[in-house]
Amino acid sequence: MDEQSSNEGSGSENLAQEFLKIAAKNQELLTKLMTSPQETMTRLLDPLNVSESFTRGAQQLVANPDKLIQANMQLWQEHLALWQQATQKVLGAQAESVANAERSDRRFKAVEWDQNPIFDFIRQSYLITSRWLIKTMTDIEGLSEADAHKVKFHTEQMVNALSPSNFLFTNPEVIKETIESGGQNLVRGAENLKRDLEAGDGQLKITQTDPHAYELGRNIATTPGKIVYQNDLVQLIQYEPTTDKVHRRPLLIIPPWINKYYILDLQPKNSFIRWALDQGYTVFVVSWANPDARLAEKTMDDYLQEGILDPLNAIEWATGEAEVSMIGYCIGGTLTSAALAYMAAQNDSRVKAVTFFAAQTDFSEAGDLKVFIDEDQLAGLDEQMQDTGYLEAGAMATAFNMLRSNDLIWSFYVNNYLLGKDPMQFDLLYWNADATRMPRHVHMYYLRECYLHNNLAKPGGITLKDVPIDLTKVTIPVYLQAAKEDHIAPYPSVFKSKNIFSGPVRFMLAGSGHIAGVINPPSANKYNYWMNEAQPDNLDEWLAGAESHPGSWWHDWDSWLAPLSGGEVPARVPGDGELAVIEDAPGSYVKVKGE
């Protein structure tokens, strides 16, 4: 037997062995499922509470047969047009495609999808059928808003999963790689699949980036600073100044606790923190603890006190300055808004200006995340947390990834398991995989009071530290950032805050999404942003009168905040005030892994 045949045989044997191991693991999981109590089994089989919504949708479809027949006729007409186009193309004639993918759709970027008649037909047939199915399910009449939203969203998930790009024999890139490597891509893919199943303890935890490529404080989260204060929930970072003079009022940043703060300090070239230092701000950042059983009983009152009010006190001790500006990002912004209302009720006027990055206060139009939040799903989620007191790290990652499943799930499925490639090195994806836990009481309070009941938007709808929270009492200047393609905090939802706060609000719409819409340094010269200087209170009017500006919005924000920052003073160095240095940034809290 020659060497090539030997290698091919060895590869086939390895592939078979790996699939046998995976099959055994699946059998173990199935046995565990089948022996679970009935209620638990039901939740495992339908954890997203989808079946009832689809059942009601099917009933409405059957009740309107004329509309269903019309939809089917349209589907057949489009497929007939596709057959005609395919026939013309085979005969060498020029023919316009019946269905084309969006320019942003990277599933069909290989040239074979256009140039090879077979794959061109497969691609167009899929696009025609998938769009028909989504439209048919979206147009169902007689469903509640919640059911209609859930049916549409999960139909899209099914359609994305069934893309021909996700299967070995209908993806030209995978076929080519399989032939050229003698099937070694599938051997490597099986090994990658086994690795990710083991990492998820039986659940598939797709590796999106090289987990060993970065080290906090060495090549990511490297902006020099010191931990000058800490309590159970946070470490407070004070960063080293980069200018001789600084704005008098320090800047306190409250990032989301569902992720780690260093999204704002990935690399020097894209660090918002480093850039803000260069503009003359004294920057403080809250680094949240990664909760375990010891912090399981923490409540939203604790997050308000230890996450915002205590750091505000610490900043005064560190700098001698009571007045500050703040930034709240995502859920950190939601808590910041509540904190400002609490402070207003207490006649606490230390915060003189606030910026919100992709943060919501009115959740009535909170987008696709709402499909995961109803009473049944929340009951199942609460049950998951009863034993430990917290939600496991990464448990929310699937929901976030499903909002952009083609980019954040299926592209990695193809790369890792079908092409058998190693994950890339990418700072943003490393941060995304560095998941955090959620304490039970805080997480359930947030989901119920904000997403499910939208009580934060109602004056007195929630109470924190025995104080009714009324966002209309917030009268300080507000910079409200949203992003055009944000799937987590949709810009129409963010815009609603403009009509809740009572002070002057500058709403700005950035290009891109929840992360890149924020982390867009001027040096990158990417994307754009829209601004309407008239700042009308109606979103349609705002959009109609908005002017597009190229590149980053960061300078616009600085031009807004600098005049509100109290003049200039000599730069402050961490440790020079009343607070001693505890340790170097990025600190120890951020290094605690969620697994």
Give Cβ neighbours of residue 419 (< 8 Å, ≥ 6 apart). Answer: 173, 174, 177, 185, 189
- H-state helical runs in 139-227: 145-161, 172-181, 184-199
CA distance 482 to 583: 35
Note if 330 is an active site residue. yes
Tell me the DSSP string of 270-328: G-HHHHHHHTT--EEEEEE----GGGTT--HHHHHIIIIIHHHHHHHHHHS---EEEEE
Q: Which of 355, 372, 395, 359 is nearest to 205 (CA)?
A: 395
First to last CA, the chain: 47
**Alpha-carbon distances, residue 250 vs 274, 278, 283, 551 (angstroms):** 14, 14, 6, 27
Are 341 and 471 in contact by the 8 Å Cβ rule? The answer is yes
Tell me the DSSP string of 397-461: HHHHHHTTHIIIIIHHHIIIIIS-PPPP--HHHHHHHS---EEHHHHHHHIIIIIIT--TTSTTS
Residue 390: is it exposed, middle or buried by C-beta count within 10 angstroms (0-12/13-18/19+)? Answer: buried
3-state helix, strand, coil in the chain (%, to 5): 50, 10, 35
The count of C-alpha atoms lying within 13 angstroms of the C-alpha of 254, restricted to the half-sphere facing its C-beta, is 32
Tokens of 376: 């049944």
Are 356 and 508 in contact by the 8 Å Cβ rule? The answer is no
Residue 101 gets the label, from left (phi > 0), alpha (psi -120 to 50) or beta, of: beta
Are 486 and 517 in contact by the 8 Å Cβ rule? The answer is yes
Residue 581 gets the label, from left (phi > 0), alpha (psi -120 to 50) or beta, of: beta
DSSP-derived pairing of the beta strands 438-439 and 390-391? antiparallel
- Pick the catalytic residue from 187, 216, 273, 330: 330
Give Cβ neighbours of residue 422 (< 8 Å, ≥ 6 apart). Answer: 210
Residue 364: is it exposed, middle or buried by C-beta count within 10 angstroms (0-12/13-18/19+)? Answer: exposed
Tokens of 497: 């805050």
Could you give the residue numbers annotated as active site? 330
